[in-house]
Structure 1
Amino acid sequence: MFKLVTLALTVAALASAQTGYTDSWGTTGAGPTFLPSTPRPTPGGTNVDRECGGDLANLWLDVVVVVDNSKGMTNEGITEVAANIATVFGNGTRIGNQYTDPRSTRVGLVTYNGVSNVVADLNLLQSTDDLFNTVFSTLSSVSNSDDSLLAKGIGAAEAVLQNGRQNNVRGNYKRLVIVYASAYKGEGENDPIPVSDRLKSSGVIISTVAFDQDGDEALLAGLAQIASPNYAFTSKDLNLVGEIQGTALQRWNWQQPAGYPLRPLSGYTAWNPSYPKSFSSNTGVVEQQFSSDLTVGWQNINGYSVAEYYMCEVASCDTEKYCP
């Protein structure tokens, strides 16, 4: 009896294969083709969301530029820094806050060697001419100091940002610190990492530019610790201006919906063995199988360097759309 049932099912299956089929997409066919199966094409269509804005004239940020003016920068190097700053903000960006259009960028300037000097707070420069005149007059030559203490410069930048936000002025504007450095030194109270970590944890993006005169690998490695992920550059980069402008344009990111608190990585449980990794750069979280018995757990990864099927959100605030 068992053999008869099996045979009957086999005959029925063959008959079905010869007479046709209907698959899960509702497509009827005439039978098997004996070719390797291929995935069904995904439905076509066009992107109905607008492209993210990239108009530098409509940039709206609070920026502090921090420049090492110690002897190690050299006169040639500091002149190059001045030209770089002028080019980054010289594409029609509205400098200051005296405009009807709220899409404007305040720029502060700090120099440092063994000590720091706030050349311009966030309210001093009110036009592109103000910016150019201040930058080229201040950065025309280096100081007489051999010391280059980055912690002094970044600490002054932190104070400039805090003072510029008193009474929640421009509290909705993103903040960026751009550092031009010729050396990386500091231990104890002169260690720049604590203040840079404090800035980054408060939402400030830090971009660094290494003016490496002698192939100093310690400089590159040190500044990479200071910079936000993927924002450590060098003066030898072929498109340095574009990289810094890109950093400024990327300051708009998807924000947590109003009324919903951000969920920190520390709130996850059931991590895979050896996870979580450092939270400073591994900010994406995936559920990953880690054993042969199909057990899964959480792993945090670097979304900039690990290829996965990410779910992304189109930025709602950018140079085309101002968000109060």
Structure 2
Amino acid sequence: MACTFKLFALLSILFVGKLKADISCPNQQTPAYSCGTQSIVVLDGSTDMQSVDKLKEIMAFILNQITPKFDYADGQTIAYMVYGGQGGGLQATEFASNIEQSCSYIETVINGVGNNLTPVTLTTGLNEMKKFYNDTLSSGKRIPILLFTGATDKADIASAAQLAKTNIQNGDLYIFSMNGGDYSPFTDAKLIYNISQDFQNWGGLQRCFNKAACNIVINQGDVADAVTTVAPTSAPLRGPHCTCNYSTVWLDVIYIFDASAATTANGLMELLGKVQTDAQWLNIAKSTDTSASEYHTRVGIIYYDSDATVYAPLGSLTQMDFLSIPTLPFRNDPGTNLEAAINLALNQFNSSAHRIEAKTVIHLLATTYRPGDYQDPTQIAETFKGDGGIMIVYDYIEAHGSVAPELNTIASPGYFTTSSDDTDGSFVLNAFCDANCFCFVGYNAYSQDTGRNLPNQGCYYPVETTNGYTIAENRCKSFNNGYLATVENEDKMRFLWRMFKQPTNFWIGLQYDGSAFKWQDNYALTANDYQPWAPNGKQVQSGQMSGIYAISTGDQNAIKWSTHEPRQGFWFACEVAPCDSEHYCSRQQPNNIIL
């Protein structure tokens, strides 16, 4: 099931189980994404949908699975509209600012539809939507328009696409086609998706809808993430891991271009084209755009030869601004004052345009640098990296035909490539994802990645105060939604051991629940799992809970486990998911556990 996504707008429509006349309003859930957008749900109530039941299934899906996960507290609102239905009229609501209003508005729309569908074109429906919500669509903000449609008439679809292009420029369109219509005329749609199976079996629709409502760009795999009860062919990956979604990377990035004579004018153009190609995948927003989702990247541009110049300050460009840059200044100057360029980048990161939550990244695109006439950039680059910044270096070797070893020394470990090695063009985008994977301040990264040292197996915080098992468990949950650390292998056992002063005993995330041993991440302990029990350490009483702790003698190679009465106090470590491209970590979230 192919998913086509493009660069500008957004439409969508949705479906699920049949509604009863008396609607039961669901409880508010944890928001899927935090944003303050206004979004409009447009539902096809015409005969193109084939039955009223199908339309009401969509509404039930929205009611039960979508609206409870909106971030109303952060100002997110949603309006509902159906075109067609009984009498062929328009059913439209104002913007709901809480879940109770959402439920009430959906009920109003359902009651207005009645029991019959009438012939209404998609073009008419979008035109009526534009007229009803004209003030919102003319506000200058990007408005997600979420549309499920059954239209298949090619002429109608082409006409509707032209209407959207000319009259709904501020609407971001995601289109979900129920009957296999050809929506290719909607060249500005962010997503066009054909649902050929029962949509209730596609769990990705919920995530897809909530992303669209927050103006978060959707990847191909989001919608087609099927809910299945079939056993996987291999063991699932355990623990919190780094997720890579280019469109939701939230970094502050300064691009530094080598504009010296060694790069050549043509080479500088090629480097600009390279970063603009990458930028098509990113959600780039200005620092002044208060309607932008938290999942966006801010960028700035600096170029240098014997001098360094800020071409675009951090946070001053939209994606379209970036893609529209025709060329960068080139003076055929042989100088390479990279140190001055990095200094300018650090000044940008010290400005108000930098978000304290966002990782700082310098993406250097260079041919070489010439030490001697200018201060060596190595020291300032090391300072930037030591403060947590990531230096991605792209060595453009076409102009001179060989790798510049000096540039490799400036890059962060694992973040250096050359134009000849990056044959598929994915290095930088993947580097952005990896740069966006990090731990809260004060947490230790557990990684078996020898390159970029990513927390690809979670982040861990040692607590050196004695707590009972259940108290420790609750402490971990209350801060960053963590849990007592699991131990899948000996290497991880040693990693946890090294976080504490030794010798000491500490709780691990394994417990006996009265009938079986289970980990805090809901995995059962199996016979083949790592489990270094002490003699008689596995003794339990049926029906009684026991916590499991690690016994340390001061030797990391002699750690053993044993059960214990859970009210006993031990030190413990909390395991949490890393911040990444789909897990935004705000400064409001506590970085550390305070006991």
What TM-score do the two structures reach when normalised by structure 2?
A: 0.36
Say which SS state the counterpart of residue 247 (structure 2) adopts. helix
CA distance in 1, matches of 2:582, 2:453: 27
User: Do the aligned residues in 1 keep the contact of 2:304 with 2:341 (CA within 8 Å)?
Assistant: yes
2:312 is matched with which residue: 120, 133, 139? 120
Say which SS state the counterpart of residue 435 (structure 2) adopts. coil
User: Do the aligned residues in 2 keep the contact of 1:211 with 1:235 (CA within 8 Å)?
Assistant: yes
Corresponding position: 1:77 with 2:267: yes
Structure 2 match to 1:142 = 330
Structure 2 match to 1:46 = 236
Change (3 A) 1:53 1:153: same
Q: CA offset at residue 214 of structure 1?
A: 2.2
Moved more, 206-215 or 54-63: 206-215
Change (3 A) 1:238 1:115: same
Q: CA offset at residue 56 of structure 1?
A: 1.2
1:200 is matched with which residue: 362, 385, 397? 385
Q: CA offset at residue 202 of structure 1?
A: 0.7
User: Do the aligned residues in 2 keep the contact of 1:52 with 1:314 (CA within 8 Å)?
Assistant: no
2:414 is matched with which residue: 217, 227, 230? 230
User: Do the aligned residues in 1 keep the contact of 2:303 with 2:341 (CA within 8 Å)?
Assistant: yes
Corresponding position: 1:108 with 2:292: no
Structure 2 match to 1:320 = 582
User: Do the aligned residues in 1 keep the contact of 2:298 with 2:315 (CA within 8 Å)?
Assistant: yes
What TM-score do the two structures reach when normalised by structure 1?
A: 0.63
Structure 1 match to 2:516 = none
Change (3 A) 1:100 1:158: closer
CA distance in 1, matches of 2:388, 2:305: 26
Q: CA offset at residue 149 of structure 1?
A: 2.0
Structure 1 match to 2:278 = 88
Corresponding position: 1:68 with 2:254: no
Q: CA offset at residue 321 of structure 1?
A: 1.6
1:275-324 deviation digits (Å, cap 9, x = unpaired): xxxxxx9989xxxxxxxxxxxxxxxxxxxxxxx97549774221212111
CA distance in 2, matches of 1:249, 1:113: 30
Letter paired with 2:277: T
Alignment map for 1:173-322 (pairs within 5 Å): 173-187=358-372, 190-212=375-397, 213-217=399-403, 219=404, 221-239=405-423, 241-255=425-439, 311=492, 315-322=577-584
Change (3 A) 1:318 1:148: same
Q: CA offset at residue 150 of structure 1?
A: 1.6
User: Do the aligned residues in 1 keep the contact of 2:240 with 2:578 (CA within 8 Å)?
Assistant: no
Q: Which runs of 5+ in 2 are unaligned?
A: 1-233, 446-450, 455-488, 496-574, 587-595
Say which SS state the counterpart of residue 209 (structure 1) adopts. strand
Change (3 A) 1:51 1:201: closer
CA distance in 1, matches of 2:371, 2:406: 10
Say which SS state the counterpart of residue 252 (structure 2) adopts. strand
Structure 1 match to 2:201 = none
Letter paired with 1:214: H
User: Do the aligned residues in 1 keep the contact of 2:284 with 2:299 (CA within 8 Å)?
Assistant: no
2:322 is matched with which residue: 128, 131, 135? 131
Which structure exhibits the higher relative contact order, with contacts defined as CA atoms closer than 8 Å and separated by 6 or more residues?
Answer: 1
CA distance in 1, matches of 2:437, 2:342: 24
CA distance in 2, matches of 1:106, 1:161: 11
Say which SS state the counterpart of residue 391 (structure 2) adopts. strand
CA distance in 1, matches of 2:285, 2:452: 35
Structure 2 match to 1:32 = none
Q: Give every structure 1 segment of 4 or more consecutive aligned residues whose post-TM-superposition deviation is greater than 4 Å.
A: 48-51, 281-284, 312-315
Change (3 A) 1:309 1:187: farther
User: Do the aligned residues in 2 keep the contact of 1:174 with 1:251 (CA within 8 Å)?
Assistant: yes
User: Do the aligned residues in 1 keep the contact of 2:437 with 2:581 (CA within 8 Å)?
Assistant: no
Once superposed, what is the RMSD of the aligned Cα atoms? Answer: 3.0
Moved more, 247-256 or 102-111: 247-256
CA distance in 2, matches of 1:88, 1:156: 23
Q: Which runs of 5+ in 1 are unaligned?
A: 1-43, 264-280, 285-307
Change (3 A) 1:310 1:61: farther
Change (3 A) 1:73 1:314: farther
CA distance in 2, matches of 1:205, 1:254: 11
Q: CA offset at residue 188 of structure 1?
A: 7.5
Structure 2 match to 1:156 = 344
User: Do the aligned residues in 1 keep the contact of 2:440 with 2:579 (CA within 8 Å)?
Assistant: no
Identity among equivalent pairs (%): 23
CA distance in 2, matches of 1:149, 1:177: 16
Give the total of aligned pairs: 230
